[in-house]
Structure 1
Amino acid sequence: DTALTLGRVQEEQEDLGIAALPTELPRQFCVHTIAVTPLVFIAPLDRGEFHVAEPPDWSGIPMILSESGLGRERVDRWFKEQHIKPRIYAQVAGNEAIVSMVSLGFGVGLVPKLVVDNSPLAHTIRVLEVDHDMESFNIGVCVLRRKLSNPLIKAFWDLVVGSPHRK
């Protein structure tokens, strides 16, 4: 969870973190984007008991959503802009939990594509072709500026910043 990661870095429980970056961060953070990934709606592979038409009838589909976080904020805003009141089946902690519940046929979820691409359950779900304007996630390494005075952290940071940006 982005908020937890950033909070742990801010409270100095961790030296650095990797997280989906919110639009605005406190000035005390240095961040470097290492990946950009769109948000995608996922559904279980058709197994008869649960079918999602394209385009989906959102008001009738059970949704598996994050309890909180950047993805939840974006999907809530999108549903509101579309004048859709989603039927929320479950609210879970973590994108992997969303993928698991979707793969079991409990509903449709929204996750970063990077999660789908790296999931061992990718063969059990499908990405829905949904035209939405939700902003992609910038995934980045974050550190408190003052922590860059530590030679070990600075050396790691220099490696991260010097590496080519992957899309």
Structure 2
Amino acid sequence: MFNPSRDQARQFLFETWAKQKQAAPLTDLEKVALAVLVRHPEYHPIVDAPERYLERDYLPEFGETNPFLHMNMHLAIEEQLSINQPHGIGELYRSLCLQTGDEHQAQHEMMDCLAEMIWQAQRSGRGPDGEFYLACIRRKAGLPEKA
């Protein structure tokens, strides 16, 4: 199972960005990561300066958004969509895309649900609840609750 450390996950994004700038070949996963990076030009100065940002902490109590967490949540959603896990997420994503009119915005809506699911799992001491996650996405898409 792939379980990178915080620094390894960040290094992956730094290296992907550097390879793109050098026109070096990318792996399939790097291509997905690059697509996420391209959609976030506000983070380009960060991935351009690994020596400055590799070890930086982003504290929500100071109103800071963690760009690495944000981009890696996009990667997690991309992976979920590519394998349709949890089952049915692809269909819900398409519904959310229709409602928002934008694939990127739809992923941001899903990200809210993913973060909530993770928070609930941590709070309860249980594993992630895929049904909770799907129900949240369903609500955001304006779909009725599953019977």
TM-score of the alignment, normalized to the shorter chain, above 0.5:
no
TM-score under structure 1 length normalisation: 0.22
Q: Could you state the TM-score of these two structures normalised by the residue count of structure 2? A: 0.24
More helix by share: 2
Greater strand share, 1 or 2? 1
